[in-house]
Structure 1
Amino acid sequence: MSARVLVHFPFDPGSRTVRLALGEAKIAFEETVVRPWEPDCPLADLNPSGMPPVLQVADSRPLTLCEPAAILGWIEDQQKTPLLLASDPAERAEARRLTAWFDRRFTDEVNAVLLHERMEKPLLRLGPPEARALRDGRAALREHLAMLEELAAARDWLAGRRLSQADLVAAAHLSVLDYFGELPWKAQPALKLWYMKIKSRPCFRPLLTDRFQGLAAAAHYADLDF
């Protein structure tokens, strides 16, 4: 087995967060792509929750790291100097706040609605999207984007002066929605510039090659200068 194997689903925001973080840290890894909803998915034997991602580390002391928080913490622990959490306590706290925001409120109010309708229903053959649910999810998305637009307009990066895990978490969540054409970029000019900046980083390139079976990406999805 390779020293690092990431077990993930490409359109899971948490999996994308970890792929971005590993790329930013320049940690080489192999990938095992899984379909978590299938009964024979190997995730059930790796993570008690059955959720991706899982990073298997074959060092002198083998580790099985389950889900983004554990993996991001391990990545940061490998660094001689701060990488995804600034040395400034205020910026570290803000990065953690925004990470929690996406893990909870954004996931509950936006992803649980829009990604359920646009992604989970086709995968599970649950029928077409419901118009009312799409309206509700898009309304919640606009509220979250307004908050992010204010941060992007006032700061160099979302948590402050330097790139942090908050940027990777936000980019991971937004990139999935962007694949499905759900982001009204014209209404969020500062956030669009932030996204173009992070989208141009080498760690982001693998995400731009992801394709969802049966549904083409939005026309601008892989365009760095959209």
Structure 2
Amino acid sequence: MSEPSKEVVEIRPASTEEDWKAVKAIAVNGITGQSKNLSQQVFWHPIYLAACGFVFLGVHRLANMTEGNTFLRTILLGVFVSASFLTVMEIPCRKLFSSLADEMVEDTGNLRDENLKHFYLAYLNKDRLIGIIGLLPPDAVGAYNHTPTIVHWNVIPKFYKFAYDLLDVALNDAKKLNQNKVSAKVFTTDKWILQSLKSDGFEPVVDEAFDYLSFFGLRHVILQTSLKDRLKRNQTSRN
């Protein structure tokens, strides 16, 4: 009986035009894809749920006055109202993250062409691209407060177990820049990445609202860690 093939991850610097196009596409999709996370976050907010509940009660009462309600009809009304509220909220969420992605690829954004060479790509078994990470040097556009800055740490969810391979490469690269502090930028809608950075010793230094949707918990967070004080990799904290 043959043994299962071992999964091998190779981290490569983005060094060709094809690499840069892949980095930009993955990073942009990673940003725009967070609109779904935000719309769900808004939907489960107590105020939004209350509004949804009031509308449901109104529709239910109106239906009861006209045709009467059965249990099945009540369930269907609930599903219809919930789906309508979720769909309505997806529109501004999608518009916001599309706008953010557009800003990032401009000359003043962290995905400007000059920055793409500061990214790494993770390949599984040499040919399957499963993730990217960027480490902007202190003087790059988009770097925070003249520190090396991690941006667009994206990994396909089923391969999260390899995500720290990318992070380690970025941190090792940061050490070569003779800097003590390393920063990272992330939105609160990217919950796994945010929690992973915190568990790896990064601490928030900026937590800012930047849009009216921040009322529902959307924040732009910048975290930092000290390279000098970092302990050896703790595998248990990375699970």
TM-score (norm 1): 0.32
- Decide which structure has greater strand share: 2
